[in-house]
Each structure stands twice: as C-alpha cells, then as structure tokens.
Structure 1
Amino acid sequence: MITAVVLAGYAALMGAAVPPLLARAHWAHRAPTAAVFAWQGLMVTFVVTAALSVHHLVLGEHHVHERLFGLLTFCGLATSAPEGRAPLTIGSALAIAAPMLVVLLPAGWLIRCIWRARRARVRQLDMLVLAGEPAHGYEATIVDYDVPAVYCLSGRSSRVVVTRGALDILSEDQLRAVLEHERAHIVGRHHLLHVLVEAFSRAFPRLPLARHAKEQTYLLLEMIADDRALRWHSREALATAMCEVAAGRAPEAALGAGGSGVLIRLRRVLTPHPRPHPAIWPAVVAAAGTAPLLPLLLACVP
C-alpha cells in the first residue's frame, strides 16, 4: 500500500503541481521545441504512473511484484514467468485490466481524434477542389473570402490556403512571411502533436496537466513556426501579417497563422530574447526520459 500511495502522489505531482510551473517557465518561450518535448514527457509520465498506481492498489503490496511481472508479460516486456512463480490466472488478468484501462483510455481517444481530424481535413480538401484556385508563385490555394486569413491543412495532401481578403491587405513581404509560417507547420507535422494533446485532454478533462498541455502546446507550436519564418523574413513583416490575419479563423483540422496567443507571440517576435542556454535541451531530454522511468523502478523493487 505504501508503494501505491507513493505512486499516486507522484502521479498527482506530474498531473497537478508541475504543469503550472512549466507553463510559467521563462525558458519555454526561448526554447519552444524543448518545451513541447517536456509537455509530452509529462503526459507519458502521468499515464505510466497512474497505471502502476492502480495496479498496486488492485493487487495489494504482498502480490504486486509477482503480478507486476505478469503485467510486463502482458505488455510484451517479458516473455515467461520467473521460476517458482505461478502463471497468470483469471484474477491476475482482471487485475491487469485495471491499469490497462488507464492506458487504453487516452489511446482510444487518440484513435477517435485522428479519425475526426482526418474526416474534417478530407472535407476541407474537397471544398478547396470546388472553391479554391491556385496562387501562382506562392504554392498556395486562394479562397474567395473577404476576411483576411491564412491557414494550412497538414497531412498527405497538405495545402496552404490564403483568402482573397489576405491577398488584398498583405504586402508581398508580409504574405511570404506568413506563408513560411504555415509551411513550418506542415514540415514539422504539428497537426500530429495537436491530435495528441487533444486526445489527452479528452481522456482526462479535469486534469490540470491536460488543460495546460493543450494550451501551451498550441502556443509553443505557433512560436516554432514563427521562428522558422523569421529565418528568412523580417520581424516587422511577420508581426504585421499576424495582426492582419488575427481575426480570420481557421477551419477545423487546420492550423491558422493567427493561431493561439497572438499577443504573446507578437511581443516575442518584436522583442527578441537571448538565445536559450545550451544546457536546456540536454536537461529537458534527461528529465523527460527519467520521469517515466522512476515509477517503473519503484514498482519493480521488491
């Protein structure tokens, strides 16, 4: 029971205490890619720890280490029962089902979110076939709509879409800057990370980690795209374009240049910060890799 309490406390730490601290971390906006990796590590850690905690609670301390081997066998991490120990029984299988539900819940939502996003993307692509026309020289599709908006549809048939209103109001430099922002989303496959955090937030809707991970990941991905656009375009061009298209809403399953946290991003674009410390990436990778291993080590110690 002590191990179960410790694991539950660790899960609460990862799911409720750490997310607000990471959301307020100043280094995250200077190293958005590392910060996205940190949020993914937190989500994995929470699922692993919650599953192990449930496993300990169901079996009790005196059976848990023997049955943990059964859990690992069930997951494909071990191949046979240790010498002198009984194979898995129906009762043990039922005990394994409880932690597996913790894992299958976000996995099920992930499948559903992928299916919904794909259906919405196909619907938008079909609409573009009927209503869109190619923008020669921009590698984009023009939609006859007065509200300025620029967005992209990622995936196998990726497409950058520009409304007629955006073409009328943006200068050449501004348009190319915002197009580069959208191509960064496509190249980085940011729609996959959107689906991941959406599935996690649906699986654990009241969890602070789910709320913060979704909000911050959306914002950080926009910052990553901003940084790519700034490699070839001026800060003034990108910032002005962001303001002009901020009112335009991207359709479902699309990533828009207005995006989330426009005011925060504008401040960041117009007020350059010092480069992140070289130690940030190794520290984040080490922390994100170690955090989900700690509960496994704790659960496996006899």
Structure 2
Amino acid sequence: MTAALALLGYAVLVGVLAPLPLARARWTYRAPRLAVALWQGLALSFLTALVPALHHLAVPGGHLHLGLAGLMHLCGVDHPAGQALGGGWRLVLPAAAALWPLGRFTAALARTARHRRRHRALLDLVAARDPELGAHVLDHHVPAAYCLPGRRSRIVLTRGALDLLTPAQLAAVLAHERAHVAGRHHLARTAGDAFAAAFPFLPLARLAARETPLLLEMAADDRAVRRHPRAVLAAAMYRVADGQVPRAAFAAGGPAALLRVRRLLAPATAPHPALRVAAALTTAAAPVLPLLFTCGPVLP
C-alpha cells in the first residue's frame, strides 16, 4: 500500500504540478527539440507511475520486478489447473491504464494517416509536381506552404506562394517543410494529441498538446536557418501566414507565425549548458523514476 500511495503521489506531482512551470519557462523556445523531448518524458513518467500504482492496489504484495515469471505467478499460470485463473482479473485495471493511451495513440495515427491519404489522392488529381522544387504546386491564389508528413510525404505550395515569394524565401520555406518530414514531427504531435485525448482533465496532457505543435514549428525553423538567413525565413513566413492548410499538415505560416517571426528576428542566446544537461537528464530519468518505487525494496 505504501508503494501505491508513493506512486500515486508521484503521478500527481508529474501530471498536475510539474507542467505548470515548464509551460511558463521561456528557455523552451530557445531549445525546442529538448523541450518536446521533456514533455514526452514527463508523459511517459506519468504512465509508468500510474500503471504500477494501480497494479499495487489491485495485487497487494505483487511486485513487477519479478519479471515474466512473477507476472505468470500473479496471473495464476503456474498454479494447478483448478487455480489457474484465480487472480488474473485483478490485472484488468492496470492493464487498461496501460492500453488506454496506447489505443488512443494507435487510433490517432490511423486517423491522421487516413486524412493524409485522402489529401494525397486529391493532390494527385489537382496539383502538379515540380521536380526542381521537389513539391506539388496547387493552382490557388492564396499564398500557402505546407507538408503532409509520413512515408509518402508531400510538400505543397500554392501558385500564390510561388508568385509572391522570392527565390531565397522559397528555398527557406522548402527547408522548413523538409525539416518536418525528416524529423518525423508528426509522431511527436500525434503522441501529444493522443495523450490529451486519453487524459483530457490532466494539466500535463493539455499543456503538452498545446505546446508541442509550436515547439515543433520552432525546431523546423531552427533547422532551416542553418542554411538560410533568419530574416529571409521570417519574411517568407509572414507572406504565407494566412494560408489555410489541412489539419494533418505542418504549415510554414499559421496562427503562431508572428511569435515565430519575432523569435527569428530577435534570437535569444542558447540555454546555459547546465540547464540543457539538467533538462536532458530529467528527460531520460523521468520515465524510469517510478520503477524505483516498484522494483526497489518491498515496502510495507
């Protein structure tokens, strides 16, 4: 029981209290990739605390460090036939807690993949591929640029964007979209959305789903400005900011374009190395910390 209470207290700490200062921290905009990893690490930490806590409540005295043999023992598999399924029902609650967010993530992946597949089929009908740009050009007057990530990714530009952007701005926009595809940013965003759908009243889930898309856009900006001037990318983002894009896509513009333009034009210094190391260690350690309660010495 003590272990269960400790795990539940840790889950409350990670799920309710920890995300509040992280959401207000400004260093996250200076290291967006690290911030995304930290949000995901906290989400995993919450789950690795919740599931063992429910396990301890359902199976008092049962410890996960026993491995497969211990799990079989808890399920009654190693018992005589007449007692084989005696306590297996107790694992329903912790199993459901583990499978629920996994199921939401799988469903979200399938749903967004279905939307992207339909949009790709539409693009194949109405857009022309430009081999030199490596993008599909849509005959539409409103400037817009976006990518459909995934195995059969598409980078899409409207005719309005091609007419408005200079060659340098166009190259910067394409670099931004390619960064989304290469970084598989859709997986991180889908994971955040699925976690929020699984635990809609949890501050960690809501804030992670809110912050992750913006941080991913900033991460793509950072990769693009490795080869292109900041002012050029900022000007391009301003010009395509009003373009409408599919929900499953990443856009060069979008509602947060003004914040990203300001960030590009007034870059802040990188976070102190000590802060980066601390955040990286927290990201790596957070998912396994709850296991100390479960796999450590047996608590009364």
What is the TM-score with the length of structure 1 in the denominator? 0.89
1:208 counterpart = 2:203: yes
For the residues of structure 2 that align with 1:34 and 1:265, how far apart are their CA atoms?
17
Match of 1:97 in 2: 92
Counterpart amino acid of 1:15?
A: G
1:233 counterpart = 2:225: no
Long gaps (5+) in structure 1: none
Question: Residue 209 and residue 91 in structure 1: after superposition, are their counterparts in 2 closer, same or farther (change >3 A)?
Answer: farther
Shift of 1:91: 4.6
Shift of 1:282: 3.1
Q: Which structure 2 residues correspond to residues 10-29 of structure 1 after superposition, within 5 A?
A: 10-29=10-29
Match of 1:172 in 2: 167
Is the contact between residue 101 and residue 195 of structure 2 (CA under 8 Å) also seen in structure 1?
yes
For the residues of structure 2 that align with 1:101 and 1:80, how far apart are their CA atoms?
18
Match of 1:110 among 102, 105, 108: 105
For the residues of structure 1 that align with 2:100 and 2:72, how far apart are their CA atoms?
27
Shift of 1:166: 1.0
Match of 2:38 in 1: 38
Question: Residue 262 and residue 92 in structure 1: after superposition, are their counterparts in 2 closer, same or farther (change >3 A)?
Answer: farther
Match of 2:53 in 1: 53
Counterpart amino acid of 1:211?
A: R
For the residues of structure 2 that align with 1:37 and 1:136, how far apart are their CA atoms?
34
For the residues of structure 2 that align with 1:267 and 1:21, how far apart are their CA atoms?
23
Match of 1:250 in 2: 245
Match of 2:257 among 243, 262, 279: 262
Question: Residue 266 and residue 290 in structure 1: after superposition, are their counterparts in 2 closer, same or farther (change >3 A)?
Answer: same
Task: Indicate the larger mover: 132-141 or 220-229.
Answer: 132-141
Q: Which structure 2 residues correspond to residues 77-226 of structure 1 after superposition, within 5 A?
A: 90-226=85-221
What is the TM-score with the length of structure 2 in the denominator? 0.90
For the residues of structure 1 that align with 2:72 and 2:15, how far apart are their CA atoms?
34
Question: Residue 112 and residue 235 in structure 1: after superposition, are their counterparts in 2 closer, same or farther (change >3 A)?
Answer: same
Q: Output the aligned Cα RMSD.
A: 2.1
For the residues of structure 2 that align with 1:99 and 1:81, how far apart are their CA atoms?
16
| 2:226 partner SS | coil
Q: Structure 1, residues 66-100: CA drift from partner, whole Å, max 9, x if none? A: 35456x428xxx68759xxx859535322222111
Counterpart amino acid of 1:49?
A: A
Long gaps (5+) in structure 2: none
